[in-house]
Each structure stands twice: as C-alpha cells, then as structure tokens.
Structure 1
Amino acid sequence: MTVYVIVQLKMIDRAAYDRYQARFFDVFKKFQGRLLSADEKPAVLEGVWDRDKLVLMSFPDEAAFRAFADSPEYLEISKDRKAGADGIALLAKGFEQRLKQG
C-alpha cells in the first residue's frame, strides 16, 4: 500500500539545510520514492501555518520508506537537515482501491 510522507519545516540554519538539500537527491534516487512537492510558499487555505516549507513524498509501501529513512546514506545527510530546520514529519497510509468486476 502506498504511503505518503508529509514534512513541514521551519528553517533555523539555512546554510545547513542547503547542504542537506544539495545531497538529498543523490540518496533519494537510490530508493523507490517519488518527490511530489517541495514548496516554500504553499497556499494556506485554513488556519495558521508557521512553517517555511512543505515536502510531500510517496513510497510504494512502508518498507520502502523505512529502507530510505534508515539507510546509512540518509542518516548521514539528515544531520544537516536536523541542524538546519525544525521538522514535523508524518507518515500517512494511502487508500487501497479495488474495483468490483461486474
């Protein structure tokens, strides 16, 4: 079942975050994820949003996400992400749709 990773970031050290971002795709492309959005100016439709960036990714299943997130390569670069931005990360399961055949 597809899973989605939603990350909301508040920048605290842009230079550190930029180092992370520069190395992100070299790691990410080794896994089965898809980057769906990385928006620094998402439209707030309701409520108050105090973050600077929203990132949306998908993976074929939770195991694929965990392989990425727990990989030595990602753990190494994530040090700059954690130093550069305060993050809220969510893992959401997608819907599994089955069509009835008539």
Structure 2
Amino acid sequence: MTAYVVAKLTITDPNTYASYGNGFMAAFAPFGGKLLAVDEAPEVIEGEWRCTRTVLLEFPSKAVMRAWYTSPAYQDIVRHRFAASTADIVLLEGFALPAA
C-alpha cells in the first residue's frame, strides 16, 4: 500500500542544509518515490505549524520508504540535515476506500 512521509523542518543553517538538498534526489530517485510538495509557507487552516519547510513524499510502500531511509546513499547525506535542522517526521500508510 502507498505510504507517505510528512516532514516539518526548521532549518537553522541553510549552507549546511544545502549539502543535504544537493544530494537528495540522487539518493531518493532509485526508490521510486515521488516528491509531492515542498513548501516554505504552507497555509495553516487550523492550529499552528511551526517550521520553516514542509515536505510531502510518496513511496510505493512503508518497506520501500524504510529501505530508502536506511540506504547508504541517504545515510551519507542525512548527516547534513541533522547538523542543519530539527525535524518532526511521520510515516503514514495510505488509505484505501472500502468497496461500495
């Protein structure tokens, strides 16, 4: 089943974060994911959304997402994100409508 990642990031060091961004697609593309949204100023409908960037990713499954996240290519660049930002990240399973 399709899986989604929602990441709320607060970037504290844009120069170091750029090293993460520069390598992201090369590490991401082999896993068949889709980068659905990146927004610096999402419209808040309810509540508070305290972050400087919001990212929405789609993967074919939770297993594929985990394979990407633990891959050597991603682990090589994620250290830059860790050094340059804080994040709240969740993995969501897609929803299948019940048959009518």
Tell me what 1:89 maps to.
89
User: Which consecutive residues of structure 1, in runs of 5 or more, have no partner in the other structure?
Assistant: none
Distance (Å, rounded) in 2 between the aligned partners of 1:46 and 1:98: 28
Give TM-score scaled by structure 2 length.
0.93
Moved over 3 A (4+): 97-100
Pairing 1:3-82 to 2, within 5 Å after superposition: 3-82=3-82
Q: CA offset at residue 13 of structure 1? A: 1.0
Distance (Å, rounded) in 1 between the aligned partners of 2:48 and 2:23: 31
Q: CA offset at residue 96 of structure 1? A: 2.1
Would you tell me which structure has more helix in proportion to its own residues?
2
User: Aligned-pair RMSD on alpha carbons?
Assistant: 1.1
Q: CA offset at residue 98 of structure 1? A: 5.2
Give TM-score scaled by structure 1 length.
0.92
The alignment covers a number of residue pairs equal to: 100
User: Which consecutive residues of structure 2, in runs of 5 or more, have no partner in the other structure?
Assistant: none
**What is the identity, as a one-letter code, of the residue corresponding to 1:83?**
A
**C-alpha distance after superposition, 1:44-86 (max 9, x if no partner):** 1111222000000011111110110010110010000111110
